[in-house]
Every structure is written in structure tokens, then in C-alpha cells.
Amino acid sequence: MARSTKTYSDFDFTFAAHPAKKDLSRKYNDNAIKQSIKNLLLTRNFERPFHSEIGSPIRRLMFEPAGPMTAVVLKRAITDVIRTFEPRVTVRDITVRDNLDNNAIDVRIEYQIVNTSDNMFLDLTLERTR
């Protein structure tokens, strides 16, 4: 029985030129998905023209007082955004830790790419930008 495998690819958002082809570089499979998740989480609602529904309230939550309820709301927001806009993955677990010394929040997202059995991780450090 043949297993169908799918290759996911996206442009590299650094827009660096490929060394041999001199064309835009691409990211594949798990790297493309990590880039997509990070892009979704860091995009604000109404930031994309004509697609105001794409985005997350994460940056707004960075200005809330740090506490257990903020962590719960942050986890829920991350789960909702990934579930709605990234159909290539299934979220397994999200860990949110306050990094008060650096005025940031550390987030670890454990997910599984659809039709694979490998668990992948994305670590983000969220900081206020003002």
C-alpha cells in the first residue's frame, strides 16, 4: 500500500536569494509550517487588507497584567488561530510561562503535522513592542 506524502512549501519571509538559482528561497515541510504559524500568531486582526479575520489578539494580550487568567486566554487565542487558519496541523499542547525578568512571555506550541506521527515544537518569546 502506497502512502501519499505531501510536500508543503512557502517563500522564505527573509526574501533572501537562493545561492545557486538567484531566485527567492523557499522553506519546506516543517520549516514552512513553523513560519506560517509564527506569522499567523504575530499578525493583528485588520492588518491584512481585505482579510480582517486573519490574525490574533496576542499583541493586545501582551499589555494585560501577567497572571494565570492571561495565560489561559493566551492559550485559547493561540489554539483558535491555529485551528482556524492552519489546517495542516493539529495542536497537541501549549505551554505559557511568564518571563518577568525580561518583560516577556515564553510560549511553546507542540503540534502534529496532519498525516504524520511526529510531534513538532515551536518556541516563541513574545515581547511588548512599545
CATH at residue 81: 3.10.450.40
Does 53 reside within a domain? yes
Does 83 reside within a domain? yes
Range of the domain at 120: 24-127
- The CA radius of gyration of the chain, in Å to the nearest whole number, is 16
Compute how many other C-beta atoms are within 10 angstroms of the C-beta atom of residue 16: 9
The per-type count for the chain, helices as H runs and strands as E runs, is 3, 5
Number of folded domains in the chain? Answer: 1
Cα-Cα-Cα-Cα torsion 50, 53, 54, 55, nearest 10 degrees, comes to 120
Q: Is the pTM of the predicted complex or chain greater than 0.85? A: no
- pLDDT of the chain, 130 residues: tens digit per residue: 445 466 776 666 666 776 777 666 777 778 888 988 998 998 888 888 888 888 888 888 877 777 788 889 999 999 999 999 999 899 999 999 988 788 888 999 999 988 888 899 999 998 876 6
Does 14 reside within a domain? no
Does 4 reside within a domain? no
Q: What 3-state DSSP class applies to 34? A: helix
